[in-house]
Structure formats: C-alpha cells, structure tokens
Structure 1
Amino acid sequence: MKTKFVYLHGFASSPKSAKAQDIGDHFAQIQTNLKIPDLNASDFSHLTITRQLTQVAAEFSNDSASVVLIGSSLGGLTAAHLGEQYLQVQRLVLLAPAFGFLSHWLPKLTDEEVKRWQREKYLMIYHYGEGRSLPLSYDFVKDAAQYQEELLQRPIPTLILHGKHDEVIPIEASRDFARSRPWVELVELEDNHALGNVMEEIWQAIRLFCQLP
C-alpha cells in the first residue's frame, strides 16, 4: 500500500524553514515525495490548531493511503492530534513537539501583555518565516487550550527527537509523554529547540524508523 509523507512546520515558521528544507532535500535524494503544506494558509493572524488539523487532514482523509506525519514543535503537537483522530496515520515523527505549549509559551508574556491581548483581540508576534511581526488573534489561545496531551492514547508507533537543551519546550515535556506510552521512543539530542546542529542524526533516525531506502 502506498504511503504518504507529510511534514508540518512549527509555529510562526514556514515550509522554507531550515528543518523543512533539509528533510525535504533528503526525501528528494531517495526519490520519495514529502508534502510540506504552508500552515500559515496566507492568514497567520487567524491561525488555530483546529485550522491546522482541518487543513492537513484534507491532504489525506479522502484516500486509503497510509500516512506518516513528521511534525516540528507546534507541527509536532498537531501531528500527534491528527494521529489520534485519523486511522490512516500509521507513524509519527515528532521533532521537539510542543506538548504543554500554552503552559511553556504564555508565561514568556507579561500579565499586562496577556490582558492587552484579551482586550484588543490581537497581539504582534514575531514570525520567523516572514521575518517580521504579524498580529495573532487571541482565538489562537482559546482554541489551543482544548488540545490536551492526556487525550493522546492511540498506540501509534511514535519517534520523538528532542534536544536536551531546549529553551522553548523543555525536554521534560517529551519525557513525561513517553513515560506512560510504551509505543513512543524518545531520542534525546545534544541541541536546543532549533535542532540545527543534529540534522544528520535526525535524518538517519527518520530513515530507520520509517524504513526508508
């Protein structure tokens, strides 16, 4: 049976991110198609996890091909929830997945910034893919609050690659997730959230886990 491979980039990132390009190049070298949708969907201001789930599911939900999702950070969290909802998803590769995203990200804002965001409905967020700040609706926070890791209980073969020195999503988040799920393999890497120094290790791990040529 045919397998589809889909890469989901992170929050305020794009299909042109270093990780997406590097992994895409490796897939091209083995002549395997890797789909990399733009989760900004030309409207970062109204991004929600629910919108990402709907957008990505549309890539595979009407055919019978099995799906492998590779997700980075918030894309990893999105991939995990897609795996819970869609039986076509047969494997997950999660790079520094954003488990507990709001609990790690919101405290980086001051109380005043959060209150202003609630009041004014939009907050300027630096978008790495665009290289500039863009407004993000507070609906993003309200929507994200419903996506709890406790809900993720489908035993899908899952490989997590997480940097020990991650300054955005602490490695404890992945350790906690893997601890109670025997179908999850966690590989701890000597790097930070960007994982830019271990791309070759990441590719070899993906290739082995996905049984690629």
Structure 2
Amino acid sequence: MTRTLYLHGFASSPQSRKAQYFAANIPDLIIPDLNQEDFGSLTISRQLKQIKPLLTEPSYIIGSSLGGLTAAILAEQCPEQVKKIVLLAPAFQFTTNWRRRLGETTITQWQQETYLPVFHYSYQREIPLHYSFFQDAETYANYAFKNKTSTLILHGIHDETVPIQVSENYSHNRPWTKLISLDSDHSLGNCLETLLQETKQFLFGV
C-alpha cells in the first residue's frame, strides 16, 4: 500500500482549487494544512517536521510551488519512504526569486521590523510573516539534491513567480526527472485536467 500526499503552496491551503481538484480525483489523498493555524511563523523546516511523521509507509508526494520544494527536500532526506514525487511549479531557487521580486530594500526592512505583511490567498487577507521564514529558507538556498527519486515536474512557461528556468536547471543531468512545459502561469489553473492526467499516469500508471 502506498500513501499519497499533496503539499499545497505558500499562502495557500488544503481548500485551494488545485488541492481540492486532486482530492476529488485521487482516493485517500492526504492534504495536511501547512499553515498549522499559524501562518505567521511558517518555515520550510516546520513543514518538513510536520510531514515526516506522515511518512510511515512508502509514499508518493505531490507538491505545489513551495510544497514542491518541500517534497523534493523530503525525497532527499527520506529516500526509503518517498518513492515518487510530482512537482507543480516547484519553488527552486526560492530566496533568489524573492530577492528579485521584493528587492533588497524590502528584505532589509523585513529583517529590521521582524514582520512583513503577506497576502494569504485562502484567508483573503494580509498576515504578518516573521522574518524567520526567509532566514530559514536561506538555509535551503543551495541545497544539494543528490537523490534519484523518480520525479515529474509540470511548470508553466508564463510563470512569473517561479520562472520555468529553475525547473529546467533542476532537470538538467537528472535523467530520472521528466519536465513537462505547459502553456500556463504559476497557478497552472487552466491545466488542471492535464495536471491530473499526467500525475495519475506517472504515479499509478493509469
């Protein structure tokens, strides 16, 4: 028996459109709430700590954006438990992209003021996010992925949040990784049927 988990993205939740679409079409899909009712103290390390106890049997992980990065790290750290991963617009080079989007002035201000207001799409309001989120993410900035876990990546060619180049770079010289480029943006919202079909074929052979 193989367990299948879905890790939602940053400032999202198990109630997101994508998560619910997968839940409706993959039986017994586990979708943990990575917000843990405390989005303000979110870190990647906290997500890893939350998910590892769920890997009590061979598992597949589907991860969206930051959840995709978390899934890749879990595959590296728990190779005996994580058998396959599906990464939807995975947030590789995460802090590099945040520095590009926010600018160094905002990053410095965030560090000085401790909190940065971030719009949470599921809660539909701004929530102050602690600087420890960015500080913790920096520790994974140059993470050396050496595992050979069978991997499928689906990424939009119009993604302005996480450029598809990061997935192209990750896939390069990793023959166990398949990258599918889609005519979409970061949300991949116009490709849900394709995401599901490719995921089910990759994970379950159906």
Provide the aligned length of Structure 1 versus Structure 2.
205
Q: Which residue of 2 aligns with 1:83?
A: 75
Distance in 1 separating the partners of 2:35 and 2:22: 19
Work out the percentage of aligned pairs sharing the same amino acid. 46
Please say if 1:39 is aligned against 2:28: no
8 Å CA contact retained: 1:99, 1:149? no
- TM-score under structure 2 length normalisation: 0.96
Q: CA deviation at 1:212?
A: 5.2
Per-residue CA shift, 1:14-35, capped at 9, x if unaligned? 11111101111111xxxx2100
> Aligned to 2:190, what secondary structure does the other structure show?
coil
5+ residue gaps in structure 1?
none
**Matched letter for residue 146 of structure 2:** Q
**Matched letter for residue 119 of structure 1:** Q
Per-residue CA shift, 1:76-135, capped at 9, x if unaligned? 000000000112000000000000011112222243322221111111111111100000
> Aligned to 2:51, what secondary structure does the other structure show?
helix
> Aligned to 2:67, what secondary structure does the other structure show?
helix
Poorly superposed stretches of 4+, deviation over 3 Å: none
Q: Which residue of 2 aligns with 1:98?
A: 91
8 Å CA contact retained: 1:102, 1:141? yes
- TM-score under structure 1 length normalisation: 0.93
Q: Which residue of 2 aligns with 1:180?
A: 173
**Matched letter for residue 51 of structure 2:** V
> Aligned to 2:198, what secondary structure does the other structure show?
helix
> Aligned to 1:116, what secondary structure does the other structure show?
helix
Q: Which residue of 1 aligns with 2:6?
A: 7
Q: CA deviation at 1:147?
A: 1.1
1:155 to 123, 148, 171: 148
Please say if 1:208 is aligned against 2:201: yes
RMSD, matched Cα: 1.1
Q: Which residue of 2 aligns with 1:72?
A: 64
**Matched letter for residue 51 of structure 1:** R
> Aligned to 1:58, what secondary structure does the other structure show?
helix
Please say if 1:108 is aligned against 2:107: no
